[in-house]
Amino acid sequence: MTPSTLTLHDFQRHISDRYEKVERERGWPKTFAYFIEEVGELATALTGDATDPTVRANLEEEFADVIAWLCTLANISDVNLADAVAKKYLGEKKPEGHK
């Protein structure tokens, strides 16, 4: 996989191959807590000066962490994220709740 060819499906599978066994044993409540911690770290990173290269690198890392933990939660919940996203956001009908 290269960044230019990476798909959500491929990344979710990669996360599954690396972490799913341990995360299933941990369970979704503790895994969700780790996800929320990463969302908090992303929120903190978003308040920094994104033009500063160090801050920018941290911001990118935090976005990556949030995606990875989201994939982990989806894996242990038996949800295919690519299918879920396509079903909700790629159809002709606008998703409910969006303005």
Structure confidence by residue, pLDDT tens digits, 13-40: 999 999 999 999 999 999 999 999 999 9
Task: Inform me whether the pLDDT recorded for 2 exceeds 80.
Answer: no
pLDDT surpasses 90 at 8? yes
Task: Decide if 8 contacts 81 (C-beta within 8 A).
Answer: yes
Q: Produce one character per residue of 25-46: b if its CB has 16 or more CB atoms within 10 Å, e if not.
A: eeeeeebeebbeebeebbeebe
Instruction: For 36-89, write each residue's pLDDT tens digit.
Output: 999 999 999 999 888 899 999 999 999 999 999 999 999 999 999 999 999 998
- Domain spans in the chain, listed from the N-terminal domain onward: 27-89
For residue 99, pLDDT over 60 is answered with: no
Overall CATH class of domain 27-89: mainly alpha
